[in-house]
Amino acid sequence: MRRKPLSNGFTLLELLTAISIFSLMSLLAYALMDGVTRFQKAGMEITQNIEAYQKTMQWLHRDITHMVFHISEFNFHAGVGVLDSDSGGMIMVSGGLPNPSMALKRSHLFKVGYRVKKNNLERLTWSLDALNRQSAETQKPQIDVLLTDVEQLHLRFYQDRQWIHEWNSKNVSAVHLQIKRKQKGTVERIFLLTGYGLLKS
């Protein structure tokens, strides 16, 4: 009786089946890793977006609520096109520069402005010297980009029991600010002006 030779390998069908299973598992693993990577990236973008909004609102709150009026030159103006803004803009004198116990040899006052330029929300700052008209014309501001992809900065001001769109008067009790960004929605905030003062120079 003749014995059948023992098989020392896999058949072609078995190899094709194994390759198909391995390819399917690799594809599933890649899809899973790609999904995790996309989720992490989206989470980081959301976190960075929230942090940027928080930082922007902190700057705005400090600058607006510490606003002062300089008698030698009224340094507040707001409206469309202010500071050559592509949207709304405003410029003011703020007393929010930290200087505990006046330990540093500088004033706590500085000139600050906000504008939209090339879809960036910019914060512009000048030193105390820029409070004078002549030095303001020659001194270049420090410009910091707070937010990107900004489509519109809309400003309103509460004066005489109504909201107005331009401000060049002291009789304002609140500032309504609206920031619209591409694919990131709109953020609104109202700042109450209850403690600003009048400073003599």
Domains of the chain and any CATH numbers: 52-199 (3.10.610.10)
Q: What is the greatest pairwise CA distance in the chain?
A: 121
> pLDDT tier at 3 (50, 70, 90 boundaries)?
low
- Contacts of residue 62, defined as CB under 8 A and 6 or more positions apart, other chains included, come to 94, 96
Mean pLDDT of 114-143: 77
pLDDT of residue 132: 55
What's the confidence (pLDDT) of residue 201? 36
- β-strands 197-199, 88-94: how paired? unpaired
pLDDT of 117 higher than 60: yes
Single-letter amino acid, residue 102: M
Q: Are 192 and 165 in contact (CB under 8 A)?
A: no
Q: Phi-psi bin for 90: left (phi > 0), alpha (psi -120 to 50), beta? A: beta
Range from 7-16, 98-107, 118-127, 165-174 carrying the lowest mean pLDDT: 98-107
Does 186 have pLDDT greater than 80? Answer: yes
d(CA 150, CA 182): 6
Both tokens assigned to 89: 């803009």
Each residue's pLDDT tens digit, 19-60: 888 888 888 888 888 888 887 787 888 888 889 889 999 999
> What CA–CA distance (Å, rounded) separates 46 from 53?
11
Phi-psi region of 52 (alpha: psi -120 to 50; beta: other; left: phi over 0): alpha
Distance CA(183)–CA(198), nearest Å, equals 41
| 174-181/150-159 β-pairing | antiparallel
**By percentage, how much of the chain surpasses pLDDT 70?**
74
Q: How far is CA 142 from the centre of its chain?
A: 17
Q: Provide the mean pLDDT of the chain.
A: 78
Q: Side chain identity at 112, as an amino acid letter?
A: V
CA–CA separation, 180 and 148 (whole Å): 11
Q: Which residues have C-beta within 8 Å of that of residue 151, sequence separation ≥ 6?
A: 87, 119, 180, 181, 182
pLDDT at 86: 93
In this prediction, residue 197 carries a pLDDT of 44
pLDDT tens, position by position, 131-156 = 554 454 567 889 999 999 999 999 99
pLDDT at 199 over 80: no
**pLDDT at residue 7 is higher than 90:** no
Q: Are 93 and 108 in contact (CB under 8 A)?
A: no
